[in-house]
Structure 1
Amino acid sequence: MPTIIMTKWPVKLDGSVRSKAMAFLQKLSHDDTTPGLHVEPIGGSADDRVRTGRVDQFWRAVMFRLDGNNERHYVIHGVWPHDDAITVARSVSLTVNPINGLPQIEAASPSVASAGATAPAPSALSSESAPAAISPAGSEPAAPSTPAQPAPPSEASPAPAPSEPLLVRLGRTRTELTDRLGLSADIADHALSAPNQDAITELAARHEGWIGMALIGLAVGESIESIVESLELDQPHPSSGSQEADLLEALRRPAARAQFSFIEDQEELRQVIDHGDFGAWRVFLHPMQRRYVEKSYSGPFRLSGGAGTGKTVVLVHRARALARRNPQARIVLTTFTTNLAGALRDGLAQLDARVPQVTGLGDEGIYVAGVDALASAVIRAAGADVGDAVRAVLGEDRSQPNGRTTSAGWREVLDGASTSLPPEIAHESFLAAEYALVVLPNRVTSEAGYRRVRRPGRGLALDRAKRDAVWSLIAAYRAQNRVEGTLDFAEAAAVAAAWLETAGSLADHVLVDEGQDLSPAHWQLLRAVVGDGPDDLFIAEDSHQRIYGPRTVLSRYGIKVVGRSQRLTLNYRTTAQNLRYAMSILEGADYVDLEEQPESTGYRSARSGPAPTIVPADSLSAELDEVAKQVGNWVSAGTEPSSIAVLAGDRFHCERLARGLAERGVAAAHVEREQPPKDRVAVMTMHRAKGTEFAKVVLADTGATSAERDRLESLDGSARADTELRRRSLTYVAATRARDELAVIQREGRRA
């Protein structure tokens, strides 16, 4: 049976042709001598390995046949109408780059599609994109895209291009690009003549694989040495004397596998066929991403990176890799919210339906759950023995440890209490943070214990009198919960951790997404779920996206990642223009990571597009008019409603937006826990939008109202600063949901 090697095809096909092409591949992988396939060489071709195959009477596949390692391999280049396929087949060749030893598909004419040239666009080809899926190297589900429409002038428009090209100003030379990176002279000349970063990004978008990635590195000013290291563009291996063997060796190189993927068996090919996704996110990874998927670590490892840099894809691929490495392994894949856990579950199933997803914590396979659901599973597993853990954490019993306290508990305590504490301390935000950051992780059960406990990073100092007054409120909160018999979410995590510390771990590997949003009790739980050892904890996080939990430091909870931290910087989802806008939201703010080190930005995008549109509105009615106008323009231009989202700050405003859009003739739906509709524009909160991705996004309800600013002023300095960081992060998260176009409606009377 031949081995199929998939590429990112240079043209996109509509649904009916795509299904026929996939059926052709399935037959080819089973027996390439089947007469109906008509696998034939093309006379006069530039590469004698090129073949075409009949998809149907009109469409033909173009591929390269390699005979090596005692078996046949077919590198699938793409599918074209018959005459175009013959033209492509005669002109393309598969070679090994003599500088870096990587494979490349080259065309004899610039009009012919290849991995190093823009694809032709004959009228018979469909412009429709593949169905929604997780983006090739990104982290969330991708919505179908449409051709970008010109954006009206906005304050985010780029400045005029400087007279001297960017790479010339950076001191790059043609020799460096050709003799060190291995770029062709033509591509090097285009890059050296590009006036700015956006122009080089646009050039990179026309070239797949290592060529595009090298160009992106050049665009953002990376050194030649850094690009060579990240893409592993070292000297090629010595020739074996066989061109086919050399090509197969080159195709397996890490940088090559970002463009070429070996389909291992019929089942994996069936997965590609079923999902109909030629740009399969599940097989094409950047060399850096693949390194973090496959490498083994001696202890906890932390992977940071901005929105869209592929942290989630790395986690899902790594979970599968661990399961394949040891089918008996107990693997936990977790994140902060239920919606994000569902996205992880779906992504894992799309990647490989054969990987067992189990429903029992501690079973062999991959257990996927939100971190609070994980805590509940541990408490259920503990049964009657959980009582000892409850007493260890709280110093008292709970009759219903599987029940959860409502979020209004602290407000109710303050409403019924008389205290001498100043307002910034007698505040539900301060008390909830003090409880989560100080009391629960230290398992403080008495006033005397609270007097002694250290409070690192809390900012606001408390003397003995204030500590006693705070403890009285904490005691009242616990008494209220004791009456109900329930635990709040942080208490449940702390109790689950305490039980596991006695009972023993239930997993061999734990992989964590959105680690920046987890609380200290969550980290204690995760540290207890898995014992110390190789590949025990793998953590993906981005402090710029912290929109829920308090700021935490891993080392305080037994998780040592010093020397085992790395960062992803290439954004695959958001255009450079939208990313630039999103990053501007974070400017001037100080963010630190889970190691309490300053968090840098420096993210770059692999895509280019129009600048964000900034539209003022002086009232709610005007805001609704502008949102409806923007969405209506996109839909009229051909964008599918399901690939558009309108994001706002809270549920109340989302409901008003959904109603207002409907009144203005826009089919929209307010999305909460359910999946976004397939025939309507999704209206959702910025919090709910985390983990999603849309072709086009409108940000509504931006800025803070006077009431919100007054609430901010009521907080103590530390809490106020933290709340402000999270508010910025929320807007940053919302802005980075857009793949292609972003519109921002700014209400007058609101401040950013």
Structure 2
Amino acid sequence: MTTLVWANKQQKLDKAVKAKVYDFLDKLQTNDALPGLHIEPMQKPVDARVRTGRVDQQWRAVLFKVPQKDDVAYFYMGTWNHDEAIDLARKMTISVNPVGGFTEVSYVEEPETDDEDVVVEPTDTADTLSLLESWGYTLEHLTDQLGLARATARAAAAAPDEEALLEVAVRVGGWQGEALGYLVDGLSIEDIREKFGLNTPVEQDADATEDEKILRGLEHPTAQAAFAYIEGQEELQRVIEAQDFGAWRVFLHPEQRKYATAHYNGAFRLSGGAGTGKTVVLVHRARNLWRENPQARVVLTTYTRNLADMLRANLQQLDPGVPIASKLGAPGVYITNIDALVSQVLKEAGTEISTAAQQVLGRPATHVTSRPDGDTWETAISAAGDGLPDNLRSPSFFAAEYAMVVLPRRVVSRAGYFSASRAGRGVALNRALRSKVWSVIDAYRASGKVFSKVDWEESVAIAAEHLTLSSMSGHLADHVLVDEGQDLTPVRWQLLRALVAEGPDDLFIAEDSHQRIYGQRVVLGQYGIRIVGRSQRLTLNYRTTEQNLEWAVGVLSGADFSDVEGDAATVAGYHSARSGPSPALVPCNNDAAEFDEIAARIRGWLEAKDVEPEAIAVLVRSNRQAARVVSALGERGVDARSIDGHAKIGTGTPVVLTMHRAKGTEFSKVVLAGVAEGAVPAAVGSEKYDADAYEDAMLRERSLLYVAATRARDELVVTWSGTRSDLIGAKS
């Protein structure tokens, strides 16, 4: 049977064409000599291996035919209209990179000039130096050390400034475009060689034929980011039907592949901005851990149910053969959000939970599912808060103090609270104030005891304590993988720490402190998770364009973010390999005018027919605002659907959802609506009990807008009526 190798070429083909492509490739895998395939060589091609095949009268597949020992391999490059396919095929060539020894495809617009004919005159002044020359790089650095194509290297070496060099990077694309982008970001040649595995080239046999070298070159991680073997008809059908196969399913960047497959001596942290592929790495890592040990108990978890559902769907699409465990502690990959995981721990614990409750609350409790009323903190403050300063008579202060200090440190007495560390809490409390604060906490707990109520944070702490106490007889997981780690609270981290024994590959954490839209700042070292020296960062955005990314990062500017190790978080080097239109910022005189603008934009996108309706989204700050937008669009003849809770996005219409609900999603066209003063940021007056708490709340608001803006793959529009939000300042 013919071997089929699929190239990472993201194409949007309609369903009818996809069906024909599947039929064509299915037949090709079975018998490439079938006359209806019309596998034909080109006239005067750059590469004699190139072929085209007839998908139908209009569409042609472009292929490379590479003989191998027992049969033949076809590299499927994509499907285009007849004339375009012929033109592309004539310019394509497949070869082995001389530095990395890996397989790559390039386009040759014009014949290369022989090196002997090129005379590079020395420059006399700094004013005439190109950008890379001014940085000390020569043409030979780009070709001999990075392995860039000579035409690409010449264009890059001639670029006078960063903008011109980035233009070359975007035009070239692929790994070579990424490498040029890293140069702009200030990475050294050695750093870039490390990212693309150039220090560990494929060992090619000197006596091998060029075809044999091409096939051997597929073993390199950089080639595996561009090509994937397709095994059988079932695999082929999944490839054809998947809407975004090339973006994440198989084609890992060499750096991503390293993190997905490497082994670590303890907990590891992978950080990176929105769209850099952290979730992709987690999904692949879960699959790889199971492949290495089918009896392994792998837990893959995140903060929200929506994101957990997405992780499950992605893993099943990646490899339907990976068993999804139905319960905690079973072999396979157990995927759930963190609070559902807590519920299962509590359920399985039964009456044994009473011992853990004693450690957390200072009293036994066997029923931990009945929640207190929403005003219980207000009641406790009224009953026991005499003498507290006004700024501390705040339910927000007490909820945070309880979650960040009392519960994670298992404080059960006034004396224990006096000695408890409050590092990072901002507002200072002397002994007298601590005593008054404890009186309120004591009243809150007394109410819980009287009415047999346990709040959710208490339940999480109890579950964590139960796992800690029961760990002497064994842990429930061999590996724990955490997505969106920046949103987890201390007691949730304690639960994850207790879930798996400390040791090799125990915890793998993906997080981005700039996307923290829930909870308080946390330093993991305080909760038994030591990752010092085992932390790396991804910087290449695969989702959005450079223009959208620049605008989104601008929302974060001027604010100080810290990561889960307590260090300053940075966006330095964060960039995209894609280019597109600049975000459109649209001020409106009133709400009606804003709704008119949104409706007109959506109608224009739909009429252009270059995007599916469900790839259009309007993101807003609240569910109430979402309902207003859906109603207003309907009045203007635009059908849209509101997505809230755990509802699936579905197909067929544009969607409207909150910025929080949009976490983990992506759309081609995005409107950020209602980004006005008083709406974004939302009111955070309850956090004004302390300057640090208020600043932290404002950081979460910045992060939320950043998250929303980075949902856009191609086009971003920002609208508001009245005065624009301070978070976007005067950007245009």
- Output the TM-score relative to the length of structure 1: 0.87
Q: How far did 1:585 drift?
A: 1.2
- 2:726 aligned with 1:751: yes
- Paired position in structure 2 for 1:425: 392
Q: How far did 1:436 drift?
A: 0.8
Cα separation, 2, equivalents of 1:257 and 1:438: 47
- 2:581 aligned with 1:617: no
Aligned 1:113-128 pairs, distance under 5 A:
none
Q: Deviations over 1:116-175 (max 9, x none)?
A: xxxxxxxxxxxxxxxxxxxxxxxxxxxxxxxxxxxxxxxxxxxxxx99865455454333
Decide which of 718, 736, 740 is 2:692's aligned counterpart: 718
- Paired position in structure 2 for 1:150: none
Decide which of 438, 441, 448 is 2:415's aligned counterpart: 448
Cα distance change, pair 410–193 in 1 and its aligned pair in 2 (3 A): farther
- Paired position in structure 1 for 2:656: 683
Q: Which runs of 5+ in 1 are unaligned?
A: 112-161
Q: How far did 1:691 drift?
A: 0.8
- 2:539 aligned with 1:569: yes
Contact preservation (8 Å) 1:644, 1:695:
yes
Cα separation, 1, equivalents of 2:185 and 2:235: 36
Deviates more, 1:578-587 or 1:166-175: 166-175
Cα separation, 1, equivalents of 2:581 and 2:315: 33
Aligned 1:438-587 pairs, distance under 5 A:
438-504=405-471, 505-587=475-557
- 2:713 aligned with 1:742: no
Secondary structure at 1:401 match in 2: coil
Contact preservation (8 Å) 2:391, 2:690:
yes
Cα distance change, pair 455–507 in 1 and its aligned pair in 2 (3 A): same
Identity of aligned residues (%): 49
Cα separation, 2, equivalents of 1:262 and 1:362: 34
- Paired position in structure 2 for 1:5: 5
Cα separation, 2, equivalents of 1:729 and 1:164: 40
Cα distance change, pair 428–163 in 1 and its aligned pair in 2 (3 A): farther
Cα separation, 2, equivalents of 1:43 and 1:259: 26
Contact preservation (8 Å) 2:102, 2:219:
no
- Paired position in structure 2 for 1:152: none
> Aligned letter for 1:626?
E
Q: How far did 1:709 drift?
A: 5.9
> Aligned letter for 1:724?
M
Cα separation, 1, equivalents of 2:601 and 2:12: 27
Q: How far did 1:10 drift?
A: 7.3
Deviates more, 1:179-188 or 1:273-282: 273-282
Secondary structure at 1:288 match in 2: helix
Contact preservation (8 Å) 1:197, 1:220:
no
> Aligned letter for 1:466?
L
Q: Deviations over 1:286-344 (max 9, x none)?
A: 11100000101111100000011110111111111111111111111100111111111
Deviates more, 1:473-482 or 1:300-309: 473-482
Cα distance change, pair 12–649 in 1 and its aligned pair in 2 (3 A): closer
Cα separation, 2, equivalents of 1:392 and 1:293: 38
- 2:637 aligned with 1:672: no
- Paired position in structure 1 for 2:562: 592
Cα distance change, pair 69–304 in 1 and its aligned pair in 2 (3 A): farther
Aligned 1:46-125 pairs, distance under 5 A:
46-56=46-56, 58-68=58-68, 70=70, 72-81=72-81, 85=85, 88-89=88-89, 91-109=91-109
- Paired position in structure 2 for 1:241: 207
Secondary structure at 2:481 match in 1: strand
Cα separation, 2, equivalents of 1:69 and 1:536: 42
Decide which of 621, 635, 642 is 1:663's aligned counterpart: 635
Contact preservation (8 Å) 2:684, 2:697:
no
Q: How far did 1:58 drift?
A: 4.8
Q: How far did 1:635 drift?
A: 3.2
Cα distance change, pair 79–489 in 1 and its aligned pair in 2 (3 A): same
Cα distance change, pair 40–406 in 1 and its aligned pair in 2 (3 A): farther
Cα distance change, pair 731–442 in 1 and its aligned pair in 2 (3 A): same
Cα distance change, pair 562–422 in 1 and its aligned pair in 2 (3 A): same
Secondary structure at 1:647 match in 2: strand
Cα distance change, pair 192–599 in 1 and its aligned pair in 2 (3 A): same
- Paired position in structure 2 for 1:227: 192
Q: How far did 1:512 drift?
A: 0.2
- 2:256 aligned with 1:289: yes
Cα separation, 1, equivalents of 2:30 and 2:496: 45
Q: Which runs of 5+ in 2 are unaligned?
A: 112-126, 728-732
- Paired position in structure 1 for 2:149: 184
Q: Deviations over 1:23-58 (max 9, x none)?
A: 332343345455654555557654443444443455
Secondary structure at 2:348 match in 1: helix
> Aligned letter for 2:580?
G
Cα separation, 1, equivalents of 2:677 and 2:602: 24
- Paired position in structure 2 for 1:115: none
- Paired position in structure 2 for 1:607: 578
Secondary structure at 1:615 match in 2: strand
Cα distance change, pair 521–610 in 1 and its aligned pair in 2 (3 A): same
- 2:323 aligned with 1:353: no
Secondary structure at 1:308 match in 2: coil
Contact preservation (8 Å) 2:617, 2:671:
yes
Secondary structure at 2:392 match in 1: coil
Deviates more, 1:190-199 or 1:100-109: 190-199
Between Structure 1 and Structure 2, how many residues are aligned?
Answer: 702
Secondary structure at 1:688 match in 2: coil
Cα separation, 1, equivalents of 2:382 and 2:3: 69
Cα separation, 1, equivalents of 2:630 and 2:152: 48
- Paired position in structure 2 for 1:129: none
- Paired position in structure 2 for 1:141: none
Deviates more, 1:267-276 or 1:408-417: 408-417
Runs of 4+ deviating beyond 6 Å: 162-165
Cα separation, 2, equivalents of 1:291 and 1:80: 33
- Paired position in structure 2 for 1:272: 239
- Paired position in structure 1 for 2:668: 695
> Aligned letter for 2:707?
V
Secondary structure at 1:246 match in 2: helix
Contact preservation (8 Å) 1:514, 1:541:
yes
Cα separation, 1, equivalents of 2:99 and 2:84: 31
